[in-house]
Amino acid sequence: MHPALIICGAAVCGAGAGAACMPFVNRYLIKLEKNKLSIKGCALFITVLALLWAAVFALKGWDPSAFLLSLAASALLSLSLIDWKTYEIPFAYNVFIFALGVVALLFDLTHWYEYVIGFFAISLPLLGLFYLSKGTAIGGGDVKLMAACGMLLGWKLALLGFVLGCIIGSVVHILRMKLSGEKHVLAMGPYLSIGVFLAALFGDAAIAWYLSMLGL
């Protein structure tokens, strides 16, 4: 199939997925914030998700992993929006990403241990931080999100995604406070989601480049 057709088809599917996600997103927003997205907000959400699906298939081609990552992108964008507005990540989205991780493991059984290690590698230290700080340093939803993403991507990409998410979150948060002159509560979900998505798309190449720089 011609790459352009794949990308266009992915964009259409992404728009459809965005439309399918909207009722769930609005349900959580109404439940947690007593509000929902406007028509313009819904249109923007659908457009962004269509672009994300197109980007995934443009980079990965017609591959089962591209479909899994596109579905994960739908969940990541949804939970990011909800977390940004309510500072809460609905547990159902983490369960969905975890389920995608189980499917990814089944497609790659020879490397099953990377997915299992990924589930615990970041979430366990974050869980310890959560209890030590009594939830002030990291949220429980963020811990579950990184466990689910670790199951989906394996420990290497999940670790890279976490680092990227922390860097992006720190920079954006500092800029927001500088520009507004006010303190803001940091919702980590959107930044972790960005980091995970970037790691899923470019992480293998980035890790290979870094190891080559080290002569490994």
Q: CA 77, CA 29: separation in Å to the nearest integer?
A: 14
166-to-41, 140, 172 alpha-carbon distances in Å: 26, 16, 10
CB 84 within 8 A of CB 29: no
- Which residue, 107, 100, 208, is CA-closest to 160? 208
CB 192 within 8 A of CB 169: yes
- What pLDDT, in 10s, does the model give residues 10-43? 999 999 999 999 999 999 999 888 888 999 999 9
Cβ within 8 Å of residue 191, ≥6 positions away: 165, 166, 168, 169, 172
Burial group, residue 209, by CB count within 10 angstroms (0-12, 13-18, 19+): exposed
Q: CA 154, CA 156: separation in Å to the nearest integer?
A: 6
pLDDT given at position 73:
97
- What pLDDT, in 10s, does the model give residues 127-142? 999 999 888 888 899 9
Question: Quick one: average pLDDT of 120-131?
Answer: 94
- What pLDDT, in 10s, does the model give residues 59-108? 998 888 999 999 999 999 999 999 999 999 999 999 999 999 999 999 99
Query: What number of residues does the chain have?
Result: 216
pLDDT given at position 183:
66
- What pLDDT, in 10s, does the model give residues 180-208? 666 667 789 999 999 999 999 999 998 88
pLDDT given at position 32:
84
Whole-prediction pTM: 0.93
First to last CA, the chain: 37
